[in-house]
Structure formats: C-alpha cells, structure tokens
Structure 1
Amino acid sequence: MSGTCHVDTFVLDNMPPADLMPDFINLDRLGYPEALNATVELVDRHVAEGCGDRVALLAPGGIRWTYGELAQTIDRMANVLTRTLGLVPGNRVLLRSANNPTKVALYMAIIKAGGIVVATMPLLRARELVQVLDKAKIGLALCDASLVEEMEKAVAGAVAPARIVTWTGTAGGELGALLEGAPDHFDAPATRAEDPCLLGFTSGTTGMPKATIHTHRDLLVICDCYAREVLQATEDDIFIGSPPLAFTFGLGGLVLFPFRVGASAVLLERAGPPDLAKAIGEYRATISFTAPTAYRAILAKRADYDLSSLRKCVSAGETLPKPTFDAWLEATGIKLMDGIGATEMLHIFIAACEDDIRPGATGKPVPGYEAKIVDANGADLPRGTPGRLAVRGPIGCRYLADERQKAYVEKGWNITGDTYAEDEDGYFWFQARNDDMIVSAGYNIAGPEVEAALLAHPSVLEAGVVGAPDADRGRIVKAYVVLSEGHTASPELAKALQEHVKRELAPYKYPRSVVFVDALPKTESGKLQRFALRRQAEADAAKEGENV
C-alpha cells in the first residue's frame, strides 16, 4: 500500500476487497494526522508533556511503574525486537501471558516498532495456538515462561517455524538477558494512522477463529469516542478489571483508556471475582471493568470487601440483566454502565453515561457511531420491532483473508450478530444473539430474557438458557442453573423457579426443563458459552430418546 512503512505487507495484502469494506464515518471530527504511532500518543506524549512521574502501572508484589519508566522499558524492548530479533514493520508477533506489566510493555513496544500484535488468551491450548500461528503467519512468539509448554507444542505443529522468546517476572529470564545493555531510546518508524498494529482474534466459540485487523488510529478512536465521551475518565482514576488483554474489552479498559488520559491501571494475573474485589480495596481502584457474572458473584460476598473507592463500573462481554443492575445499585450506589462491543469493532459502540442510563437497555450509539435495526434483507425496521443490529462508525470490521467478511459487512454496515429493538427514544434493547432465539410452538423466546428472570430469584447465582429438542413443541426452553450458597437442588425448587418465571414473563416463556449444575461453561473472557449448553441439551434429548 502506498505510503506505508510496512516492509512485511502480509496483512495489508490480505485486507477485505474494497466492495466488502465497512463505511468509516465521522473521522473528520477526531482530527487524526496521517502520520501516527499509537504508542507515541499513549505513552511517550505524557513524558514529553512533563508527566513522566505519574504512575502508569500497578501490580501485586509492589510493582509500580511510572510513565517515564514504562517509556524507557518500551524503547529498550523495541530495540531488542528490531536489532536482535529482526522485527521489521508489518511483522506479526504473538504475545502469550496473563495480565502483567511486562506484557503491556511488550505490547506497546511491538506497536512502536511498527509491528502487529497478536495477543492470545493464556489458557489456549496448542491446537488453538496453531490456528493463530498459521492464520497470522507468525515468526516470533513472546511467551511467559510458565506457559511455554503449550507454545512449544504449537510451534512444532505449525506450518512455519516461529522463534519463541520467554520471560519471567518483570522481564527476567531469556528476554531479560536480551534487554541487558539495550539502548533506552528508540525512534519509531513513520507509521501511518491506517497502518495495522493489532490482529484481534475472535474467541473461537464456534468454528475457526477469525482475525480482525485494527490500526494505530483504531486504538485512539475507542479512547476518544467511548472513553472520553461516555466513560469520562480522568488522569486521577485508577482502572482495574478482570478481562485478559487478549480480549479487546480488557485491552481498552486496562491499557488504552487509562494511558490516553495519563491515569493508572492495576494488572492482576489472578482476577476471579474474589481476587478482583479484594484488589479494588487494596489499590483504591476507581473504575472497574468486568462481566455481569463477576459483579453478581462479588455481590454474594459484598460484606467481605471494601468497594468504597469505586466511582464507575463498566459491564460488557455479555448482556447485563436488570436484576444484577438493580442489586449492584442497591449495594454500592453505583449504576453499572452496560455496553455492547465486538472484537470486530474493537470496543464498545452502544452505551450510556450514568445520568442517561435506562435500566434494562444497553444504551444509545456512542458519539461517532450510528446504529439501526434491519431485517434479513437489510431493510430498515420500524422502532419497537426486533431485528438485526447494524452499526457503523470510525471503526469497522476488517477480517484477515476471510470469506466471512461478506456476512459481517452489508452495504457498509457492520452486522453484529445480535437481535435488538430500538425504542421511540433511541435506546437499544438487547433481545438475544441471533442464534440464541428459541422458537417454541411458534413463539420466539429470547434466552437471555429468561436468564434475567431466573437471576431475580434469590436462589439463583447463574443461569444459562437454551432451546432443547422436543417432539411436541419443536423446541422447549431449558435452563441450566447454578444455585446460590445455602440453597439445595430439588424438584420443588425447580418447580418454584418455573412458577417464578411465569410471574416475571409471559407464561409461554417459562423453562419447561430446569437442570441444576455446579458451573456453567464460559470462555476465558467470562462469556457464557451457550453453544456448549446447546450441545448438552441436544445430547440430553438424544439420551432421553434412547431410554424411552
């Protein structure tokens, strides 16, 4: 591509064709220059403006990095990447570790050097990593030493070999040895705003994972649209959360948003609900990012934690049930800020400021974005009518060499795969993922709506609702339920839950089957894996048929 500094043009050469590209709108209002390096804007700018002594990163073990220290570490790493490891602009580099300062510094160093980050979930196994290595044609993998076994298996099974460099702690081990004596100043190459710097892989919950292409500009767009206009964070905030940095919800909430305003971020390698809640008190965190299930789990042990420092709490990754919103507000006085985003769109594109929240609704399009509801043919639907959610803005879906681009982008609009309805005031209300709609005896029933009703019952900690095969009704609503502490599974409780849903929703929506389980299947980012529950429901139905 003309003007790019990329020597390795693999990603640029495998962009979607022009007729399948999304519309990019409202870029003029953001005013980005043609020449742009995201790391320079997010880190170096604070040092240049005399704010290098501000705290950028905090982590267990007393780790406390200022922006000045982070900038020097990034530059040393960029020198190692380019001078020792042979990185040239456009190369893809895989990152594999839990959330920690070294991972963030490497992330920023790859981008500053003109490379393209491919961050992976720490729990991925070799078979999954092979897909990433082959899809992105990766030649260099930077891996926490504690996770290297699966990485080595993956490299051995990949089409092309990749070099693995490991580290321990805050850049000790093999990487630490390479960093010794490396210069602490690095001049970024002439990257453009439109040069790719990130391949975000979808979670791969169904089918082969897709690689979404994001640019230096994209990393700033989500900061200057959602974080500035909706979240309204300041340099005095301390961010904390549970999402892995390989999950773009976590990348935005724990790195990009705080760095854009010169705030601090707490990085936790262990970030389950108890760990997160405890760390909020220890670090006096002010802004939290996690999934609805984590907020609900924290509420169950609310008396054990000091959450008084929090002033904003963002919920995403899955739909926010109104009972969880209500319970969190009652317990903390804080309105959970719901939002919907996508790996394809990098981060949240529909949300609401606290004063504009309408409980139960996701919100309105983030400034700079537009949204509408369309039918199966792409025609606009009237307000109040459920249909497919279509979005466009300064960011859009660009899959790397993937035929599925045709399904995601239609006439310039990004079709997210969600069923929504827009009310007369312009608020968008989640109905279901398009494949979560249950058709039972001619009725359309949204599984998440039934889940929300179940979660309003005091005995229910978590719930997953899917359609199960049924000879009479085609499909029935089947609920998999995790009980709260102190409650015991029984036929009587199952019946009570069914009656509860009948009281909360139209009677035809009640779960005709309730199964009590110890845990629900989830992705590493905390999303409920409804596809796994659907498989379980299919298997259960087949087994029951054999026993008839």
Structure 2
Amino acid sequence: MPSAHLDTFARDALPPREWQPEYLFDLPSLQFPPQLNCATALLDDAVHVHGWGDCVCLRAPGVTWSYRELLDRADRIAHVLTSDMGLVPGNRVLLRAANCPMLVACWFGVMKAGGIAVTTMPMLRAGELATIIRISRATHALGDGALAEELREAATAEPTLRQMRFFHGGGAEALEPAMAAHDLPYVNVDTASDDTCLLGFTSGTTGVPKATMHFHRDVLAVCRCWPPHVLRPTADDVFIGSPPLAFTFGLGGLVLFPMAVGASAVLLDKVAPPQLYEGIRDFGATILFTAPTSYRALVALGHDLRALPLRKCVSAGEALPAATRTLWRDATGIELIDGIGATELLHIFISADEASARPGATGKVVPGYRAEVVDDEGLVVPPGVVGKLRVKGPTGCRYLNDERQRAYVRDGWNYTGDAYFRDEDGYFHYHARTDDLIISSGYNIAGPEVEACLLQHDAVAECGVYGVPDDERGNLVKAWVVLRPGVPRTAATVRALQEFVKAHIAPYKYPRAVAFVAQLPRTATGKLQRFRLPQCEALPLEETS
C-alpha cells in the first residue's frame, strides 16, 4: 500500500514481516481500503456523514464540546502542526497532558496531519520522557503548559525534539493563539491503512520500555471487534473512566469506542475513587472503565451508585479477582464486564458480557480474534490444563526496532506472557503472568491466585504476592497487605490470614511471610507492580496487651 509518510522512520523501524504475527480480517467489518485515515472515519465522518455534528462528544468540568467543535479544534491544530511547526507525514508528536478535551483534539490533529501520536503518562519525569523521545525520535510535542517543565528538560537531552506548543499556557509557545490564526477546514492526509499512527509504550516493566506500533486500520479494528460484540454501547451512553489516554485501555474506552457510535465521554484530570464517583454522579455516566482496585474502593458507595444511570462497568488492566466481582455485583447490582487486552494488540481480545460472565473466568475469545492455550512446545493443551496464552487477530505486536519482537511473536501468534487455562465451554481462566509464577520447593504457585484468596478475607483492603529468595525453598511466597481501617497489625492477624489461605486453597500456596504496608506500588494505570513489592517499607507490628 502506498505510504503517505515522507518521514519513513516508523516504516523503516517495523519488524521484518516474518517476525510479525498473522493478521486475521475474517469479519466483514474488518475489510479496510488501501488508503485510510482513522481521523476521517471517527471524526470527520461523524460530522459530515453520520450527522452527529451537534451531538455532545466530550465533557469535562466546565467544558462541553460537540463533535463539530472537536473537529474545528482538531483542524486548527493540524494546520498549526503543518504550517507553523513544519510537521511532515510520519513525524512523531509527543503528547503530554492529563485527560482533557484538548488532549483529544491534539490527538486527532496529529492523525489528520499524518503524524504519529506518542501519548505519555502525565506523571513521567524528564529522564523517562527523554527515553521515550530517544526511542520514538519524537520531533514535535503538544501538551499542557502545566506539565511543560519536565518536557523542556527532556528536550535539552534529546535534540530530535525541536518543536513544542502548549495549551492552557502563555508565551511564545502557546498553542491557542496559533490555532486562532487558522479557520479553514483541514484536508486530511491520505494515509495508507498500514501507516503507523500511534506508538503505545508499555508500562510497568523493569527494563527499557518497548514502543508498540499501531496502524490506522488497527484503530478502527478494535472499534469493530470488542465493542459491538461485548460492550454494545449506544449513542445515548456517557462513558467515564480512570485510565490515562496514554494507556490504550483509556484511549479505546474514553475516545475511540464512544466516538465510533456517536456517544459522549467524560474526561477527568483527577480520577481517584471520590472524584470518579462525583464524575459519574454529576455527568450522568452510564459506562465506566476502571481497574479492579478502583471497583473495590467504590464498593462503599454502591448504594449511592444504584440511584444513578450507570449501567455497564468494564474491568481491565489487571486480573479481576472473583471476590471483587461479587463485591461489586452485591453493592451495585451490576455484573462486571471483564476483559484481557495488551498494549501490543491495542485492546481487549478475550471478554464476556454481563449475561455470560462467569466468576473467575475472563471470558471467551472476542469475535475477530483466535486464542489458544499451549505448552512450551507450542502444542494445544487439553481443557483445564494451565499453559501459555497465545492470540492472533486483526491487530498484533509490532515493536519498534526491538529484538524482543521475536520473543512475543512466534509461529504467527502473539504470546501475551499470561498463563491461562481454557475450560470445556471455551471460557479462558487467568492463572498468572508467566513471570509471576513463584517456584517454591518445586511447586508452581501463581501469586494472583493467592492474592484473590486473601482479598476474600474481611481484614484485607488490598494485597500483592511475590516470591522472595529463600535458601531452603528457592523462593518463599510473601504477601504485602493493606489492612482495612481498624484491623490491628499483629502477629495474630498474620496467622489468621495464613490459616485463611490454607483453608481455601492448597496449603502449600499460603504466604509464609506477611508484611503490612500503607500502600502498594502501582503504575499510573493502577496496575500492581509486583516486582517492586520487596522494596515496600513494612509497617511495624503492634504489641498486644
């Protein structure tokens, strides 16, 4: 397909075709033309084809934009990028802001101009930003003026980033005055459907971050698989959630999926459970995207949530414990929609809707994808046997110029790094990350399974389980526990938790060491960073009288 990219860095950095997975386009909705710009399909067509121009698209405290207003701002930003900042198709544009309507306008402006968006988590520091700039060779940046300082510092170390503009700020680099000088519609660049439009950086890893490469067709593919077959949103829905737009879970749930059906989304810059509840209440949100940890924290407001129009709740980002599913359903009357996705595949590929959800199961394969559980030799294992999860579909892993591509993609399949088993009815059950298995005295113990058990205890608010070196056993199962208010940090509480685990799962899996902590280490998206648990400072035990 003829690329529109004049800057060929991304195309040149694609993995060799033989290192990429097999792509599946079996569904009629996945038949894409050679030339495709996802901004045209999601934004321009919303106004000019579907007639949604006057419908509300984005909401935020004090802000309401229609689809037409978002289109106008995205057009102006695309003009600024090309006319004022010298962007040519294929250049990488770093985006830096908390979730807000202007961030979405910038994202679409980049798509329209044929650029490649590199959206970053707002709390990243200069050193982390410099790494992303270096890997992506970002040439331009758009962001919130409140976050400019760290980006400017990073740019001094990485001179490829030569052009920056900031909204919600003043000075020579202010974006809004530049936008005001452009009032003509923007003619979108006629990109190829397999031109890269998005670099999504992996989060929560211990080494150098990996940049996943996604095409214009990928953006539309994820809108046509999981949402219509599992979520089933309507134009009347109001989406809300906690994940940052730099996290592909957030990009899909708060931008792509609502816009694909003419719905609206609420964007909050602060998304702790109290603010999330207030957003649901104040904006009348009907669909919620957040992680299991947030659902557990929101349970206390379940009675209040029952009086609101909230009707669908999606959990992803980490495994959903059965106890959390039950707590949420009992508190709100809403069955959680669970799902597993990956930055490498852009969004969810195994899930189940409310009617077919099963406690402890993630769900079935989403239409458009295939999934298998295999052994170390790549042979499919029988139902009930734990193995490695591998997936293929219309999206797949393409690491930018990274040798780790060959570990993720083998024999045409994406190996997600998750240990699963599949039951007789085709439901996939999460066991652990393959790198979260603890081998202790010859036993393979899944840390998330022990966590799920501990979370059923009334004393436990949050917990994480990880293996620590032990001379006798090789590794020792250790739990880091955040207790509920009023529960004493005593040796008796430790023993109670240990006995509880022994009574509910195989006794050899119980945590032989327990530490009480004030909080658990998590990524910006709420994902538990188990590898950092040993660095947590334990709270001292309280003396008993």
TM-score past 0.5 threshold:
yes
Matching residue of 1:54: 55
1:148-163 equivalences in 2 (<5 Å): 148-158=148-158, 160-163=160-163
Matching residue of 2:183: 183
TM-score (norm 1): 0.95
DSSP 3-state at the match of 2:174: helix
1:328 and 1:336 in contact (8 A); partners too: yes
Aligned length: 536
Q: What one-letter code is carried by the residue in structure 1 that aligns with 2:88? A: V
Q: What one-letter code is carried by the residue in structure 2 that aligns with 1:332? A: T
Matching residue of 1:241: 241
1:115-153 CA distance string (max 9 Å, x none): 100000001111111111011111111121111111111
DSSP 3-state at the match of 1:131: helix
Matching residue of 1:22: 21
Mapped pair 1:145 → 2:137: no
1:323 and 1:455 in contact (8 A); partners too: yes
2:437 and 2:447 in contact (8 A); partners too: yes
TM-superposed deviation, 1:31: 2.1
User: Structure 1 residues 491 and 535 mapped into 2: Cα distance closer, same or farther (>3 Å)?
Assistant: same
Matching residue of 2:83: 83
Q: What one-letter code is carried by the residue in structure 2 that aligns with 1:155? A: A
1:439-454 equivalences in 2 (<5 Å): 439-454=439-454
- Deviation larger for 440-449 or 99-108: 440-449
DSSP 3-state at the match of 1:350: strand
User: Structure 1 residues 317 and 514 mapped into 2: Cα distance closer, same or farther (>3 Å)?
Assistant: same
Matching residue of 1:466: 466
User: Structure 1 residues 261 and 31 mapped into 2: Cα distance closer, same or farther (>3 Å)?
Assistant: same
1:294-353 CA distance string (max 9 Å, x none): 000111344565662111100000000000000100111111111111100000110011
**How far, CA to CA, are the matches of 2:141 and 2:13 in structure 1?**
21
**How far, CA to CA, are the matches of 1:69 and 1:536 in structure 2?**
47
User: Structure 1 residues 199 and 455 mapped into 2: Cα distance closer, same or farther (>3 Å)?
Assistant: same
Matching residue of 1:3: 2
Matching residue of 1:546: none
Matching residue of 1:543: none
Matching residue of 1:252: 252
**How far, CA to CA, are the matches of 1:159 and 1:76 in structure 2?**
26
1:177-256 equivalences in 2 (<5 Å): 177-256=177-256
DSSP 3-state at the match of 1:123: coil
DSSP 3-state at the match of 1:514: strand
DSSP 3-state at the match of 1:354: coil
Matching residue of 1:533: 533
2:299 and 2:328 in contact (8 A); partners too: yes
User: Structure 1 residues 367 and 440 mapped into 2: Cα distance closer, same or farther (>3 Å)?
Assistant: same
TM-superposed deviation, 1:90: 0.7
User: Structure 1 residues 307 and 392 mapped into 2: Cα distance closer, same or farther (>3 Å)?
Assistant: farther
1:470-489 equivalences in 2 (<5 Å): 470-489=470-489
Matching residue of 1:545: none
Q: What one-letter code is carried by the residue in structure 2 that aligns with 1:251? A: L
TM-superposed deviation, 1:79: 1.0
**How far, CA to CA, are the matches of 2:360 and 2:172 in structure 1?**
47
1:102 and 1:171 in contact (8 A); partners too: no
Matching residue of 1:432: 432
Matching residue of 1:71: 71
Percent identity between matched residues is: 54
Matching residue of 2:42: 42
Matching residue of 1:337: 337
1:360 and 1:429 in contact (8 A); partners too: yes
Matching residue of 1:376: 376
DSSP 3-state at the match of 2:65: strand
2:137 and 2:161 in contact (8 A); partners too: no
TM-superposed deviation, 1:204: 4.9
- Deviation larger for 387-396 or 18-27: 18-27
Stretches of structure 2 that go unaligned for 5 or more consecutive residues are 539-545
Coordinate RMSD, CA, aligned: 1.7
1:487-509 CA distance string (max 9 Å, x none): 22111111111111111111111
User: Structure 1 residues 50 and 201 mapped into 2: Cα distance closer, same or farther (>3 Å)?
Assistant: same
Q: What one-letter code is carried by the residue in structure 1 that aligns with 2:59? A: L
The structure 1 segments of at least 4 consecutive aligned residues displaced by more than 3 Å after TM superposition are 169-173, 300-307, 534-537
Matching residue of 1:398: 398
2:6 and 2:90 in contact (8 A); partners too: yes
Matching residue of 1:317: 317
Q: What one-letter code is carried by the residue in structure 2 that aligns with 1:326? A: T
TM-superposed deviation, 1:426: 0.9
- Deviation larger for 113-122 or 31-40: 31-40
**How far, CA to CA, are the matches of 1:204 and 1:299 in structure 2?**
26
Matching residue of 2:543: none
**How far, CA to CA, are the matches of 2:306 and 2:425 in structure 1?**
37
1:73 and 1:184 in contact (8 A); partners too: no
DSSP 3-state at the match of 1:65: strand
2:450 and 2:465 in contact (8 A); partners too: yes
TM-superposed deviation, 1:441: 1.2
TM-superposed deviation, 1:167: 1.3
TM-superposed deviation, 1:173: 7.3
**How far, CA to CA, are the matches of 1:316 and 1:75 in structure 2?**
33
- Deviation larger for 169-178 or 343-352: 169-178
**How far, CA to CA, are the matches of 1:183 and 1:519 in structure 2?**
49
2:133 and 2:161 in contact (8 A); partners too: no
1:6 and 1:88 in contact (8 A); partners too: yes
DSSP 3-state at the match of 1:482: strand
